[in-house]
């Protein structure tokens, strides 16, 4: 599927830090908790109002084994600067989780914002793009056969950064 362009400058891919192999997005039901580390969630306050965000944070904790320590509001304007994490103790964070609705296509501006967030993180901190269902209707689960998810995986893989993983919230019955 084509990627929608909003005339946002493409990031300079530059050299890949550590010359690691290309990322393979993974979908897993549960990942063991990293002792002493808490997830830092990035979410649009417009798309994820407080009750929905609370539900998402509970989901992240139970589905991924990543207790949420902090939530930062983000707008994904493509103009993210180096101050996003300036007030955050990154030693206590892993992973950083960007919540995004799966039905919204991975336009270049959003991909650029994702790459800017990743550039601000230490190499040891993972960035997860966690795709959700439509937050407006409160159902955050993404169907297993989501074509939109596949489109996101391809788009994020094109960033060629092994520190970025795409995941979905799944319904567990």
Q: Which residue has the higher pLDDT, 132 or 20?
A: 132
28-52: pLDDT as tens digits: 444 444 456 899 999 999 999 999 9
66-87: pLDDT as tens digits: 999 999 999 886 666 667 777 8
Task: List strand residue ranges (DSSP E) for the chain, in order.
Answer: 38-43, 68-73, 93-101, 127-132, 164-168
Task: Answer yes or no: is pLDDT of 126 > 90.
Answer: yes
* Alpha-carbon gap, residue 53 to 101, rounded angstroms: 12
Q: CB of 9 within 8 A of CB of 65?
A: no
* Alpha-carbon gap, residue 102 to 142, rounded angstroms: 7
For residue 162, which of 110, 121, 106, 123 has the smallest C-alpha distance?
Answer: 123
- The pTM of this model reads 0.77
Distance of CA 47 to the CA centre of its chain: 14
């Amino acid at each position: 599927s084509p990627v929608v362009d909003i005339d946002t400058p493409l990031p300079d891919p530059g050299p890949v830090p550590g010359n690691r192999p290309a990322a393979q997005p993974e979908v897993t039901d549960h990942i063991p908790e990293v002792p002493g580390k808490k997830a830092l969630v990035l979410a649009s306050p417009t798309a994820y109002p407080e009750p929905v965000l609370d539900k998402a944070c509970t989901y992240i904790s139970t589905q991924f084994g990543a207790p949420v320590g902090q939530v930062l509001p983000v707008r994904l304007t493509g103009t993210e600067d180096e101050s996003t994490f300036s007030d955050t103790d990154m030693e206590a964070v892993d992973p950083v989780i960007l919540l995004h609705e799966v039905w919204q296509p991975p336009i270049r501006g959003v991909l650029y914002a994702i790459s800017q967030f990743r550039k601000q993180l230490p190499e040891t901190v993972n960035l997860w793009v966690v795709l959700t269902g439509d937050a407006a209707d409160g159902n955050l689960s993404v169907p297993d056969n989501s074509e939109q998810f596949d489109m996101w995986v391809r788009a994020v893989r094109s960033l060629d950064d092994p520190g970025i993983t795409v995941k979905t919230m799944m319904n567990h019955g």
